[in-house]
Amino acid sequence: MSKWTKHKGGKDKALEQRKAYAKINRRVKSKASVEVMKQKDSLKYHFARHCWILSKKGVLSPKGLTWDSLFERKWGTPLRVYVAAEQQRQRGNESVRNIQSDPDLP
């Protein structure tokens, strides 16, 4: 008889453990990715505000570019398009918040 014996079902148990670990890992990654997306959106919003203010003042960036072109280079969207979309989104949020002024409600 051999000293070492193979456990039956060892592969199945290891496979189950790997599946459980992968499931937990997916949950952690999805929560982390949501948080990262929120941070990126916040960074983009605040950078757009900064660029918008400085472009209205006529100040050039340290690289000698306009702030509009710098924003487009960094984020891939023209600053004016992003600002218009953000203003539209905020108007939508205001309409949801201002329910009392809705004439259709009793």
Provide DSSP, 13-71: HHHHHHHHHHHHHHHHHHHHHHHHHHHHHHHHHHHHHHHHHHHHHTPPPTTS--HHHHH
pTM: 0.57
Which one, of 58, 35, 49, 33, lies nearest residue 90 by Cα? 49
> Taking the C-alpha atoms of 66, 72, 75 and 77 in order, what is their torsion angle to the nearest 10 degrees?
140
Domain parsing of the chain, residue ranges: 39-97
Using one digit for the tens of pLDDT, what is the confidence trace for 13-52? 777 878 887 777 777 667 777 788 889 999 999 999 999 9
